[in-house]
Structure 1
């Protein structure tokens, strides 16, 4: 009995699907715009974004300059977004914003356009062009629509992207620091990179390690300098230590920092004794 009911239900679903496909193919080939509009809306409401997208693509040019054009262009953009085609969705949302600046959906379109670039933002280790675009779009949205329902999400996404850029800058500086252990010529770009990072991202979650590794790079650079240049460079290293301790008195790098400071003091003490002879 249950098998028969299951078979009947399966058959009904199959008939429905085939009928839907047949209707879709018929309307797709039809030159009339209204049936395509109605079916595109129906598919959209049902969550069938693939077929809805295909139909909206066909009719969008026909609605340019017409009252329904605004609605068609928005849904076309959103079907791309729902299908995770973020490149096309971003492009279409930008077109919508430019074409309908007074639309009731302008804030939503601006937000979704920015979110497309957020979705396209790659891992921190890769090129961050799309991250920069996303941040610019999100910041523009945040500044323009501070009362929007999408504001909290936009703010959160902007923070995540900023942290991603911070990590990339931090990892680049840290890589120079690592290479400096084998080739002293990398210590100068390491120190410069950490300085730039600290200046560009003063509130970063990576600030504490950046300050420590800057101190480490500065110390190694000073200790491995010529006797003539050592005093000045080691003084700079001590300033880097002071900077770390001032901003993070209870730093987790306290033990390692103390060992480096001890090396500096021993070297300076040795120089003073040599000069006194």
Structure 2
């Protein structure tokens, strides 16, 4: 009986020991930059972006000047875009542009920023400010890079956003009409008069705003 008890206690202590070793193994530090980069890529490939973000923090903390950092930031940004986590994607993009935003790579970075904002739209009614801000960015981009590789795509997004805003203004104006507030309705229709989009140019969405905006 004593022998059985001893085996049991030994087994429990062994499990505790290995559990402790496993916990400690997660607390890694002082690793080469390539080690952190490769580990981050594995986490991205498995879909664990939260862990990938944490690993990037280790890479950045231990190797602040590593040439792998800008590449890692762009990869994480794209991974978060693919996962529809646009706020996190924009965070990495903003940091990238602050540190590495030369004119050459700024064109691509700004395009991705506009694209992330565009695909981050879910409801025109709730995202009116985001629509306006993204339109401003798109127009500035077209002026800055008139012959850029991504300018045609930015122009397409600009047109879709302008049409969305036009339809939204008309929708709000009709709502004020029903509430017998003609002055308020006139304000929104006046905004549409200043737009280069005309009502005849737009076919209103029949299957919901979200799908229509990205078609």
Partner residue, 1:106: 106
2:192 aligned with 1:197: yes
The answer as to 2:182 corresponding to 1:187 is yes
Give per-residue Cα distances to partners, 1:72-128, cap 9 Å, x unaligned: 322232232232210111122022112112275432221111122112223222241
C-alpha separation in 1, matches of 2:79 and 2:41: 11
Q: State the shift of 1:47 in Å.
A: 6.9
Cα displacement string for residues 49-78 of structure 1 (whole angstroms, at most 9, x for unaligned residues):
625444224323334344333223222322
Task: Judge conservation of contact 2:84–2:120 (CA < 8 Å) in 1.
Answer: no
Contact in 2 for aligned 1:121/1:128 (Cα 8 Å): no
- Cα drift, residue 168 of structure 1: 1.5
Are the equivalent residues in 2 in contact too, given 1:56–1:75 (CA < 8 A)?
Answer: no
Deviations 1:189-221 (A, max 9, x none): 3344423421x224323689xxxxxxxxxxxxx
> 1:1-277 to 2 correspondence within 5 Å?
29-31=27-29, 32-34=31-33, 35-42=35-42, 44=44, 46=45, 48=47, 50=49, 51-102=51-102, 105-180=105-180, 186-198=181-193, 200-205=194-199
Instruction: Determine the C-alpha separation between the residues in 1 that align with 2:103 and 2:32.
Output: 23
Q: Distance in 1 between matches of 2:140 and 2:174?
A: 32
Q: Partner residue of 1:231?
A: none
Q: Distance in 2 between matches of 1:33 and 1:133?
A: 41
Question: Unmatched 5+ residue regions in structure 1?
Answer: 1-24, 181-185, 209-277
1:127/1:52 CA distance change after superposition, 3 Å: closer
| Structural RMSD (CA) | 3.0
Segments ≥4 residues shifted beyond 6 Å: none
Structure whose CA Rg is larger: 1
Higher relative contact order (CA 8 A, sep 6+): 2
CA distance in 2, matches of 1:169, 1:56: 43
Assess, with a 3 A threshold, how the Cα gap between structure 1 residues 108 and 47 changes in structure 2: closer, same or farther.
farther
Match of 1:84, SS state, is coil
Give the CA deviation at 1:187.
2.6
Mark the runs of 5 or more structure 2 residues left unpaired by the alignment: 1-22, 203-215
Asked whether the equivalents of residues 28 and 55 of structure 1 are also in contact (C-alpha less than 8 Å), the reply is: no
3-state secondary structure, aligned to 2:199 = coil
Give the aligned length: 177
- TM-score, normalised to structure 2's length? 0.67
User: Taking structure 1 as the reference length, what is the TM-score of the superposition?
Assistant: 0.54
